[in-house]
Structure 1
Amino acid sequence: MQNTLVNQDFERAVKQLRRILPKLSFGLLIGTYLISAFIMGIFHSQNSPHIGFKVAAFLVPLAIQAGRGTLVFFFQLNPARIQSRFSMGIIAATTLLGLSLWEAWLVMSPYGLSWTVSVSTLMLIGWVIEIMILKETMFATQMQLYQNKDQWQELHNFYVARADFDQFMDDLYDGKKPVLPGPDHTSNPEEAPKLEDHPKSLESDRKAESLPEGNGFSPSLNGQTL
Structure 2
Amino acid sequence: MISLHQVSHTFGGVRAVEGVDLDVGEHEFVAVIGRSGCGKSTLLRLVAGLLTPTGGRVFVAGEEVTRPRRDVSVMFQRPALLPWRTVLANVLLPAEILGLRDHRARAHELLELVGLGGFATRLPHELSGGMQQRVSLCRSLIQSPRVMLMDEPFSALDAITRTDLSLELQRVQREHPRSVLFVTHSIDEAVLLADRIVVLTPRPGRVHAVVDVRLPRPRALGQVELDEVSRSLRAVLGEVTV
Larger Rg belongs to: 1
TM over 0.5: same fold? no
Task: Identify the structure with the greater helix proportion.
Answer: 1
More strand by share: 2
